[in-house]
Amino acid sequence: MEWTLVLRLLVAGMLGAVIGLDREYRAKEAGFRTHFLVSLGSALFMIISQYGFAEIVRANGANYDGARVAAQIVSGIGFLGAGTIIFHKQFIRGLTTAAGMWATAGIGMAVGGGMYFIGVAATILVLIGLEVLTLAFGKVGLSSISITFYTSQKENLERVVKEIHDRKYHLVSYNSTQETLGGVLLYKVDVVMKIRGHREQNGLFVFIQSLDDISQLKVE
C-alpha cells in the first residue's frame, strides 16, 4: 500500500515538472521545480485526505469527510499563484503561469486520488493550451511591450510618437521625464504599447536605433 502511494507522489511530481519545463523554457516566474512541488504537494494532501484519518474513523466510528482537506488545496494554491503575477508599467505579467500552477495542483490531486489517466490527460491538455494554442492564435492577440530610451534631442520624442501612430500600435502609456547627467540635459522616455508579433516589435526597435543621439534603449 505504501509503495502505491509513493508511486502516486512520483507520477504527480513528474507530471507537474513537465508543465514546469514549458514555463522554464519561456523564462517565466515559476519553473519546473515550483510546478513539481505544487503537483507533488497536492498529491500528498490528497493522500492524507483519503487515508490519513482512516485509523481514527475506524477506532471511533466517527463521520469523516475526506474532501475537506483536499478542498483547501484549491483555495490555498491561490497564495502561490498571486506571487507570480506582476503588475509593472501598466501591464500584467504572470497570469498564465498562475493559472498553470492552479491546473497543476488539480493534476496532483487527481493522481493523489489514484486517477492516473485523468492526471496524464489533464497534463497533455494543459501543454496543448500553453503551446499549441499559442502557436495557433498567438498572432491574433495583442502583446504588451515596454520601451525605454534616453535622448538629448526633443525632436526624437515626436518622431517616436509619430512612428507609433503610423504603425497603428495601441499606445497604453507614454511618459517623458528630464534628467541631467554629466551636465547634459537628457529626456528619459517610457512607452508601453500593445502590438502583434515580434516583427512589429523589431521594426520599431530598429527605427528608434536609427535616430541620432539614442542611448540605453531597452525593450521588455
Please state the three-class secondary structure of 132-179 as a single string.
Answer: HHHHHHCCCCCEEEEEEEEECCHHHHHHHHHHHHHCCCEEEEEEEEEE
pLDDT above 70 for 36: yes
pLDDT above 80 for 130: no
Contacts of 170 (CB under 8 A, 6+ apart): 142, 193, 194, 195
Higher-confidence residue of 213 and 138: namely 213
* Claim to verify: residue 79 and residue 152 sit in the same structural domain: no
Q: What share of the chain is helix, strand, coil (3-state, %, to 5)?
A: 60, 20, 20
Average pLDDT, the chain: 77
* Claim to verify: residue 9 and residue 118 sit in the same structural domain: yes
Predicted pLDDT at 62: 59
Give the separation between CA 220 and CA 216, rounded to whole angstroms: 13
pLDDT above 80 for 12: yes
C-alpha cell at 164: 507609433
* Claim to verify: residue 27 and residue 133 sit in the same structural domain: yes
Compute, in degrees rounded to 10, the torsion defined by CA atoms 130, 99, 72, 119: -10
Closest by CA to 43, choosing from 17, 62, 79, is 17
* Claim to verify: residue 127 and residue 158 sit in the same structural domain: no
Q: What is the pLDDT of residues 51-95, one digit of tens each?
A: 766 665 566 665 666 667 777 777 777 777 777 766 655 556 677
Domain that holds residue 81: 2-137
Question: Of the residues 107, 137, 167, which one is the last residue of a structural domain?
Answer: 137
Number of domains in the chain: 2
Question: Of the residues 85, 105, 137, which one is the last residue of a structural domain?
Answer: 137
Compute CA distances 20 → 33, 34, 65, 66, 103, whole Å. 7, 7, 32, 29, 12
Predicted pLDDT at 27: 62
Compute CA distances 212 → 5, 155, 156, 188, 207, whole Å. 66, 10, 8, 15, 11
Angle between helices 95-112 and 32-51 (to 10 degrees): 40
Q: Hey, is 27 helix, strand or coil?
A: coil
Q: What is the pLDDT of residues 176-192, one digit of tens each?
A: 888 877 777 888 888 88
Predicted pLDDT at 197: 61
